[in-house]
Amino acid sequence: MTIEEILAGESKNVEFKENLPEKSIKYMKSVVAFANGTGGKIIFGIADQTREVVGFDKEDVFKKMDAIANAVSDSCEPAIIPDISLQTIDGKTVIVAEIPEGRQRPYYIKALGREGGVYVRVAGTTRLADEYMVRELMFEGSNRYFDQALCSGLTITDEEIDALCKSMKEQAVKNAHTEGQKASIKDVGRQQL
């Protein structure tokens, strides 16, 4: 992490903590949110508001690293394995906890359960995921997506299928830029659907 990156502030993938909070839940929400998103870094030893590099005493830093690793291991479900390292910025030692993008979504805080412990990142903030987002994360975690889900009990008429096919062709014609492109558009039928 460079001074320029620090001055840019918190983002979707970066969170600052001035100190290691007494209660790990204060940063566990961000850990879970990063795992539910595209991953990210929590940098301990940088003041959130002022972006001042505060750092840690060298004799204390390894205990803090162990505490972070244990808290993540004990608090998150499914297991999240952070990459925790030290970095020197402006002659001060900070702890960087890098959280990888998770593949077993949704990740949540064990103590809060799946109903109240799933968090996501929105810009530079961590937010509780709503019911829809939790369902979407569950689909992603099973390598499925909402538009692939079967809709049981749904009936579709032949007229609705024909109307959809016609609508798709009309939209393709509208999107065409030249007469040649328009002429090359074929009818959409049941086979293509």
Read off the pLDDT of each residue in 13-18 and give the average, rounded to a whole number. Answer: 94
Q: Do 131 and 51 lie in a common domain?
A: yes
What single-letter DSSP state applies at residue 110?
G
Q: Do 28 and 115 lie in a common domain?
A: yes
pLDDT attached to residue 53: 93
The pLDDT confidence band at residue 87, using thresholds 50, 70 and 90, is: very high
The answer, yes or no, to whether residue 45 has pLDDT greater than 70, is yes
At 145 the three-state DSSP class reads coil
**Arithmetic mean of pLDDT over the chain:** 90
Q: Do 111 and 184 lie in a common domain?
A: no
Q: Do 135 and 62 lie in a common domain?
A: yes
Say which CATH number the domain at 68 has. Answer: 3.30.950.30
The pLDDT confidence band at residue 82, using thresholds 50, 70 and 90, is: very high
In whole angstroms, give the CA distance from residue 33 to residue 126. 7
Q: CA dist 173 to 49, 155, 160, 164, 168, Å? A: 52, 29, 20, 14, 9
Read off the pLDDT of each residue in 12-21 and give the average, rounded to a whole number. Answer: 93
Q: Do 23 and 86 lie in a common domain?
A: yes
Cα angle value 10/118/33 (rounded, 5°):
25
Q: Do 86 and 176 lie in a common domain?
A: no
H-helix or E-strand spanning residue 62 = helix 61-75
Q: Lowest-confidence range among 12-21, 34-43, 136-145, 160-169?
A: 136-145
β-sheet with 40-44: strand ranges across? 14-17, 40-44, 92-99, 83-89
The pLDDT confidence band at residue 90, using thresholds 50, 70 and 90, is: confident
Q: The tokens 């809060």 sit on which residue? A: 112
Read off the pLDDT of each residue in 55-83 and give the average, rounded to a whole number. Answer: 95
Q: Do 44 and 127 lie in a common domain?
A: yes
pLDDT attached to residue 42: 96
The pLDDT confidence band at residue 147, using thresholds 50, 70 and 90, is: low
Q: Do 186 and 140 lie in a common domain?
A: no
The answer, yes or no, to whether residue 193 has pLDDT greater than 70, is yes
pLDDT attached to residue 148: 66
The answer, yes or no, to whether residue 142 has pLDDT greater than 80, is no
Q: Do 136 and 177 lie in a common domain?
A: no
Read off the pLDDT of each residue in 109-121 and give the average, rounded to a whole number. Answer: 95
Q: Do 162 and 85 lie in a common domain?
A: no
* Closest to 114 (Cα-Cα) out of 73, 76, 72: 76
Range of the domain at 111: 3-148
Q: CA dist 174 to 38, 164, 178, Å? A: 36, 15, 10
